[in-house]
Structure 1
Amino acid sequence: MFGRTAVQVAPWPCRRRCGRARTGGGYRRQWCQPRSDPQLVRLLTWLRLERQPTGALGRAADHEPKLTEIARAQAAGRVRAGDPFDLFTLVLSMAFAWSAASVVYAATADEPDEDHDRRRTLLAACVRAAISPTTTPQV
């Protein structure tokens, strides 16, 4: 997600209708996952609402490699300063914007590729803007 460049590009399997590899960073993998496995998203949403309404879901150790990667990218000047957990949470939440957990609109794999591509492009631009080392938070 926060690898060598602000938005890492790597092949990943797209489990939508196409089934072919596409390019995208970690946030793009997160884009495809909720659409290819909406039951998992529903289960996580249920877990959040019914069993664990506050705090982190899962074990902190599960996120440690990602947080370490973000901190390294920050130290190298590729990612904006700030709490790595906050950046991780923000990017992951953005990637789930059109998932089954969305309170606005839940997209499905049956929608036209153009819709998914448009949303994925918007997500990429927003993630770049959010994590850019030149981004200055407005208070």
Structure 2
Amino acid sequence: MIERKYVVNLDRCKDRMDNFDDSYTRWSATDYKDLEDKHPIFDRMISYHSIRNTNQHKAKCGCYLSHTNIWRYIVMNKLNNTLIVEDDAKQINDLPNKMNKDSFTYLGGFFHNKKMTDNSKVKIEAKEGLNL
């Protein structure tokens, strides 16, 4: 049973929260525009397809920081049964009533760059342990 739901959302895009009901809590996303040009994440993050020195690379770094910050918050506050979605997520299936209690479960979405796959559909299964 999911006890807490968070939406990762940029401060400059709060209107996207209109797509979520009051059961979701807004998590302020890290905006790459607020990061210093020399922020170490820009050098540490790997980007394929020649986007290294672009705003797309910086935005990906901000997204990464947003998620690691909320994961850290969840761990430090010992929160269980927590759902994290991005503000452009659309729920197309019912959420599972029962999930593994000892894991991180990936419920769906895009996790491969289309240029790196054959574009075939990937089946998502929840199994014991880390599911990515």
TM-score by length of 2: 0.30
TM-score by length of 1: 0.29
Higher relative strand content: 2
Higher relative helix content: 1
Of structures 1 and 2, the larger Rg is shown by 2
